[in-house]
């Protein structure tokens, strides 16, 4: 038998031949069980075995948006004018109760600058007009033959005095308290001092009475009420810290000095 006959035989019929099988490799995937915290040892008698501890739900407190866009940007101050008429009236009524001492609690959530600007502007206008009218009444009461002329200087003095006091004095107390280590808010100080001047608006009507003694009684009562409003609210605001009684007394005296200035300059 020649060699060519052996080469023609199928390999599957040869004795001892093993057919080759090619299997594709299959990738086995193994998923690791998720790890979880368990109570150890298990609760006895409950029949539950190991118990998985649930992760506490996270609660995120929503932070208020920061609307401050810079000192010279008008949009930064719009949040301090977001008050309605009822809120302003309520704060005006509170300013006529000087012994309450809770004004800062009422404006804590939303201090405004609307009252500061509106009250000071109204007071400047009324002091300028009624101051001139009061001098006219006093001249007519003493000597009806003298001529009277409108004094435009009252407008300049009223604007510089009232605006300057309502802006500079709260700033001075703010920086002083910051220097002494007490927490203070300039916006809340401006708000409180602005509403403290509201009592002088109706007082300007009463000071038109051409009786000097009665004028002094009216302005002293008004000044005392406004000074108590500032001092008592300032004391309640800074209580719990160091002894800052001298600052409260200074605020009282400055408010009294303003009332005397109004009487002496505009209603002489």
Token pair listed for 70: 């810079």
Q: Phi, psi (5° rounding) for residue 46? A: -90, -20
Q: What is the pLDDT of residue 62?
A: 37
Q: What is the pLDDT of residue 135?
A: 83
Cα angle value 159/161/163 (rounded, 5°): 60
What is the spatial distance between Cα 132 and Cα 155, in angstroms, rounded to a whole number? 10
Q: What is the pLDDT of residue 68?
A: 56
Q: What is the pLDDT of residue 200?
A: 95
Is residue 251 a contact partner of residue 231, using CB atoms and an 8 Å limit?
yes
* Average pLDDT of the chain to the nearest whole number: 77
What is the spatial distance between Cα 186 and Cα 188, in angstroms, rounded to a whole number? 5
Token pair listed for 260: 């005397």
Residues of the chain with pLDDT under 70: 1-77, 141, 143-146, 239-243
Q: How many CB atoms lie within 10 A of CB 34?
A: 6
- Please write the tens of the pLDDT for every residue from 94-144: 999 888 888 988 888 888 888 899 999 999 999 999 988 888 887 776 766
* Residue-wise burial string across 96-119, b where 16 or more C-beta atoms lie within 10 A, e elsewhere: eebebbebbebbeeebbbbbbbeb
By residue count, the chain amounts to 268
Token pair listed for 95: 């300013």
Rg (CA), the chain: 42
Q: Where are the domains of the chain?
A: 113-266
Is residue 135 a contact partner of residue 235, using CB atoms and an 8 Å limit?
no
What is the spatial distance between Cα 125 and Cα 259, in angstroms, rounded to a whole number? 16
Q: Phi, psi (5° rounding) for residue 52? A: -80, 130
CA 155: distance to chain centroid? 32
Q: What is the pLDDT of residue 47?
A: 47
Q: How many CB atoms lie within 10 A of CB 83?
A: 17
Q: What is the pLDDT of residue 168?
A: 96
Q: What is the pLDDT of residue 58?
A: 37
Q: What is the pLDDT of residue 158?
A: 94
H helices of the chain, where? 3-7, 85-95, 103-106, 114-142, 153-179, 186-196, 200-206, 212-238, 245-266
pTM tops 0.85: no
Q: What is the pLDDT of residue 66?
A: 55
Q: What is the pLDDT of residue 54?
A: 46
First and final CA of the chain: distance in angstroms? 151
């Amino acid at each position: 038998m020649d060699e060519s006959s052996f080469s023609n035989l199928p390999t599957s019929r040869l004795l001892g031949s093993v057919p080759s099988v090619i299997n594709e490799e299959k990738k086995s995937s193994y998923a690791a069980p998720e790890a979880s915290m368990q109570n150890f040892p298990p609760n006895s008698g409950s029949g539950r075995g190991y118990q998985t501890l649930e992760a506490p739900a996270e609660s995120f407190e929503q932070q208020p948006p920061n609307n401050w866009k810079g000192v010279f940007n008008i949009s930064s101050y719009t949040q301090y004018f977001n008050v309605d008429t009822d809120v302003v009236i309520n704060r005006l009524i509170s300013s006529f109760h000087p012994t309450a001492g809770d004004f800062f609690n009422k404006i804590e959530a939303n201090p405004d600058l609307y009252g500061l600007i509106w009250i000071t502007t109204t007071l400047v206008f009324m002091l300028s007009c009624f101051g001139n009218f009061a001098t006219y009444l006093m001249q007519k009461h003493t000597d009806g033959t003298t001529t009277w002329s409108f004094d435009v200087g009252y407008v300049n003095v009223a604007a510089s005095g009232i605006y300057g006091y309502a802006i500079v004095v709260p700033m001075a107390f703010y920086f002083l308290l910051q220097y002494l280590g007490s927490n203070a808010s300039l916006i809340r100080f401006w708000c409180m001092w602005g509403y403290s001047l509201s009592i002088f608006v109706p007082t300007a009507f009463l000071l038109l009475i051409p009786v000097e003694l009665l004028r002094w009684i009216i302005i002293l009562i008004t000044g005392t009420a406004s000074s108590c409003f500032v001092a008592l609210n300032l004391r309640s605001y800074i209580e719990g810290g160091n002894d800052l009684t001298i600052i409260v007394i200074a605020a009282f005296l400055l408010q009294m000095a303003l009332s005397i200035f109004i009487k002496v300059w505009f209603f002489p």
